Amino acid sequence: MLLASAVVVWEWLNEHGRWRPYSPAVSHHIEAVVRAGPRAGGSVVLGQVDSRLAPYIIDLQSMNQFRQDTGTLRPVRRNYYDPTSAPGKGVVWEWENDNGSWTPYDMEVGITIQHAYEKQHPWIDLTSIGFSYVIDFSTMGQINRQTQRQRRIRRRLDLIYPMVTGTLPKAQSWPASPGSAAAPPAPPCSCPQCVLVMSVKAAVANGSAGPQQLPGARKNAPPSGAVKVPPPSGPGAKPLDSTGTIRGPAKTVPSQAIRRQASSTPAGATAASSLSPPGANGKTGRVALATLNRTSLQRLAIAQSRVLIASGVPTVPVKNLSGSSPVNPALAGITGILMSAAGLPVCLTRPPKLVLHPPPVSKSEIKSIPGLSNTSRKTTKKQAKKGKTPEEVLKKYLQKVRHPPDEDCTICMERLTAPSGYKGPQPTVKPDLVGKLSRCGHVYHIYCLVAMYNNGNKDGSLQCPTCKTIYGVKTGTQPPGKMEYHLIPHSLPGHPDCKTIRIIYSIPPGIQGPEHPNPGKSFSARGFPRHCYLPDSEKGRKVLKLLLVAWDRRLIFAIGTSSTTGESDTVIWNEVHHKTEFGSNLTGHGYPDANYLDNVLAELAAQGISEDSAAQEKD
C-alpha cells in the first residue's frame, strides 16, 4: 500500500481566478468537521473559529463557500503541499496594504519565497510564477518590476497546517478523514468505474502487470486517441516528445457514473481509491515508485491533472509536491495510468485558460451605443432635501395604527402592543406609536422605523425590513468616480450574433465622507479600472440603461471590507453582479451564462431600479 504525508491547506477561488488559502486555524477547523464524517452534517460554519468570517459557510457536499448575507458562492478545495514547505512549518509570508494591514501571499507564492529564504538567497524574482515582483530579503521589501513601487513584507510564524500521514483517504460524500484508513473497509462500489479499476487491481495482484511495468504500459498504449499536452515544467524536465503528445486508449465507457462519483469526491480522493493492488504493502509501493525518474513522475502528474479536469473531478495540483521523495508527485498520476489500463477515457488536454479581456481594439473600432447620447458619466452625489427631519420623511410612507395587532415588531422584537424596545439614541416620537407602511402593509413601531432611518443613508428613502419594498428613491454611498461605456467589435461566448458592450469603472482612492463607515479615514480602490461586459442585444442594452441609473444613484459600489482579500476600508461591489471575464467563465464572472441578464435585472429591481426608473432618468 502506498504511504505518503502531506500538508492539507483549504483554499477558496477569488474572482481573479486565484486560489486563496484559509488561515491555519480555519483549515484545522474544516479538517475537524471533515474527520467527524457525516454526523457533522456536511457543512462548516467558519464564524465559529474566525469572527471575521461569520457570514460564511462551507458546504462540503458541493465544495462551495456560501455567503449567507449575499448568497455568493465560491468554489473551495482541499489542497496538498509538501510537508517540508512553508505551510508545513507554520511560516506565513505577507505584504503590507496601503492602510497598513497585512495580506498573506497565495500559497504558491509563499512557498516559493520561503524556499529562497531557506537557501539564503539575497532576493528572488517571482516572474517565473507569473508575478512581476522582486522580493528583497535584505530590506524585507517587495518591488514592482514595472512601476518600481516598493512595499514592506514580513515573515511570521503561525500554526502548522493540518497533516495527512499514512494511507490517503478514500472517497466519501465529502473529504474523508486522514485517519480513515484505520476504519473497517466499506463494501466495494458497484459503479462501472470502480468495477473496472478493481479488475485492474486484480490483474496487477495476479502478476499480469506490476507497478514497475506501469510506465512501459503507457508507452505501449494503442496509438489512437492521441492528444496534445504542454511539456512538464520543473527542474530537469524534458519534453514528452517532439510533438508533446501522449497517447491513451481510445476505448470509452459511459462517463455519467464517473462524474456522479467524482462530483462528490474531494481533490486527491479519486487518486487514493485506486492507488495500489490488493495485498501490496508500503515497502513494495515505495520501491516501485523509486524506479521512476523525476521526468516520468512529472508526466504522470500532468496526465492525471488533465484527466481530472476533463471529467469534472477537482484536481490535486502537484507542482508544489516537489520534496525529495518520489512518492508525492506520483500519487496523482498513478490513477491516470490505472484508468487508462482499465479502458476508462483519458482525455489529456490543456486546462481552461482565464480570458479576462478581449483582443486589442483600436480607437476607430470603438463605437457609441445607439440610443445613448454620451459615452461616460461621473458620479453625482444626491442628498436628502435640507430641512426634512426623519419623522417628516417617514410620515409620507406611513399610516398610524390606533389598535396595533398582537404581534412582534420585527425590528425590536417587542410586541407592538408594548412600547418599542430600541435602546439607542432617542428619536423624538413616542415609543408606543405604531405605523403601517402604505404599500406593503407591514406594521412597526414608528420609534423603530425612525431609528432605522437614522442609522442608514438618510437620503429620503425607506426600505421595508421584512419584504424589502422601497419607498422613495434609494441611493447608496458609492465614492466619486467615472463610468464609461461603448461598443467593441467582438462577441461574447454564448452571444455570437451581436457585438459587446464594454463598461469601464474608474474610482480613485480618497477620504471617506460622513455617509461612509469611517468618516475622515482614507479608503483604497483596488483593481480599477474594472472592465465589465454585456452583450449588445436588446436585453443587454436594457441592463446597461438600468446600470446607468444605479451608477447615478451611487448603488454600484460601496466602501467596506473585501470578501476577496479581507481588506477593510476599500471599494467593494454592492450586490449588483457584473461579468468581468470576457472570453471564459472559470470564476463564475464570465460567459456563457444564460441566466445572467435576468438575474442582474432582478438584483437591480431589488435596489428599486426598473424600466420606469430608466424612463425618469436622463441619459
Q: What is the pLDDT of residue 148?
A: 85
Q: What is the pLDDT of residue 338?
A: 53
Residue 321: CB partners within 8 Å, gap ≥ 6? 6, 80, 81, 82, 301, 328, 329, 331
CA 474 – CA 488 distance, rounded (Å): 32
Q: What is the pLDDT of residue 287?
A: 40
Q: Is the peptide bond before 266 cis (omega within 30 degrees of 0)?
A: no
In this structure, how many other beta carbons lie within 10 angstroms of the beta carbon of residue 184? Answer: 4
Residue 79, φ and ψ in degrees, nearest 5: -105, 155
Looking at residues 289-299, what average pLDDT do you find? 48
Q: What is the longest distance spanned by two Cα atoms in the chain?
A: 91
Question: What confidence category does residue 234 fall into, taking pLDDT thresholds of 50, 70 and 90?
Answer: very low
Write the pLDDT tens digit of every residue in 485-511. Answer: 999 999 999 999 999 999 999 999 999
Looking at residues 320-328, what average pLDDT do you find? 40
Q: What is the pLDDT of residue 92?
A: 94
Residue 380, φ and ψ in degrees, nearest 5: -110, 135
Looking at residues 384-393, what average pLDDT do you find? 69
CA 276 – CA 201 distance, rounded (Å): 7
Integer CA distances (angstroms), 145 to 104, 151, 432, in order: 20, 12, 65
Q: What is the pLDDT of residue 190?
A: 47
Looking at residues 209-233, what average pLDDT do you find? 37
Cα 477 from chain centre: 26
Write the pLDDT tens digit of every residue in 581-613. Answer: 999 887 788 999 999 999 999 999 989 998 876
Write the pLDDT tens digit of every residue in 115-130. Answer: 999 999 999 999 888 8
Q: Where are the beta strands (DSSP E) in 33-175?
A: 43-45, 56-59, 64-67, 73-81, 91-96, 102-104, 123-125, 133-136, 141-144, 150-157, 163-166
Query: Structure pTM?
Result: 0.48
Q: Which residue has the higher pLDDT, 304 or 399?
A: 399
Q: Which residue has the higher pLDDT, 425 or 189?
A: 425
pLDDT averaged over every residue in the chain:
74
pLDDT exceeds 80 at position 428:
no
Nearest Cα to Cα of residue 438 among 409, 456, 419, 464: 464
Residue 182: CB partners within 8 Å, gap ≥ 6? none
Q: What is the pLDDT of residue 111?
A: 94
Looking at residues 42-64, what average pLDDT do you find? 85
* Residue 194 cell numbers, joined: 470502480
